Amino acid sequence: MQQQRNGRLAGRTALVTGAASGIGFAIARHFIAEGATVVLADRDPRVEQATIDLGGAAALVFDVSDESAVVRAVAEATAVLGRIDTLVTSHGILTESPVASMATTQWQQTIDVDLTSVFVLCREVLPGMLDRGDGRIINIASQLGIKGGDGLAHYAAAKAGVIALTKSLALEVSARGVLVNAIAPGPIETPLVEGISEEWKVAKRAELPLGRFGTVDEVAPTAVLLAASPDGNLFVGQTLGPNSGDVM
């Protein structure tokens, strides 16, 4: 993908988390191709090579569930970029367990990584965005946050929280120029779903009106849409669903 000087995100800056892999990597790639200057973040050090490969502005390696690391990382990204126009939160973990045998630590880890970190990241980027009266926040939720998931109560609860956080924050800040939205993908072929049993995948594909999982390149354009102007100007507190028809 070649960077377009007159792309839809030319002159815009972004911090993308979960950018070493999957959907976050693809969003960083599409943003850069559309002319944005992007800082890529992940706890996985492979984000450094990803940044070199994509021509990103900088790589930040940190754990999003470590609040002080998030505070430092947002300050570092702001120093590199001058300002953060767009935050994309695309990090996440997924484990499986029935509620009846789920340890509180498993529940809490998922809430910390998949939900509380999103709150902290949003809070840390907001002052700059509100000062300028300009910003976009795009949180990657999941369709399971709407419909729930068997064996995935912790993950679904975290993602439902991300959707509610997105709507509530949109109510708080949209009149001040900061647009906050979520994307709730359906099953997408990434390392996150690789660990799930083949039996589940076959059953899930059969359940989907489209009959197949999506690819990361079918999700990333939704993030470009929400980040771009005028394309994304009227989306406020929405949850867009590139999900193969899993939720309508």
Asked if 192 is part of the footprint of ligand NAD (rule: CB under 6 A), the reply reads yes
Question: How many residues in the shown chain lie near ligand NAD by CB under 6 A?
Answer: 26
- Kindly identify the residues of this chain, within the stretch 129-168, that bind ligand NAD according to CB under 6 A: 140, 142
**Applying CB under 6 A, which part among 80-88, 89-97, 99-107, 120-128 lies near ligand NAD?**
89-97
Provide, rounded to whole angstroms, the least separation between the CB of residue 77 and ligand NAD: 14
The total of other beta-carbon atoms located within 10 Å of residue 233's CB is: 11
Asked if 191 is part of the footprint of ligand NAD (rule: CB under 6 A), the reply reads yes
- Kindly identify the residues of this chain, within the stretch 5-64, that bind ligand NAD according to CB under 6 A: 18, 20-24, 42-44, 63-64
Q: Which among 110, 153, 134, 117 is positioned nearest to 41, based on CA atoms?
A: 117
For ligand NAD, give the closer residue by CB, 53 or 233.
53
Catalytic residue check, 141: no
Q: Exactly one of 25, 31, 155, 213 is catalytic; which is it?
A: 155
Q: Which among 17, 38, 224 is positioned nearest to 118, based on CA atoms?
A: 17
In this chain, which of 13, 65, 166, 222 binds ligand NAD, going by CB under 6 A?
A: 65
Could you tell me the two tokens for 203?
């059953």
In this chain, which of 7, 92, 135, 242 binds ligand NAD, going by CB under 6 A?
A: 92
Provide, rounded to whole angstroms, the least separation between the CB of residue 210 and ligand NAD: 14
**Residues catalogued as catalytic:** 155
Question: What is the binding site for ligand NAD (CB under 6 A)?
Answer: 18, 20-24, 42-44, 63-65, 90-93, 113, 140, 142, 185, 187-188, 190-193
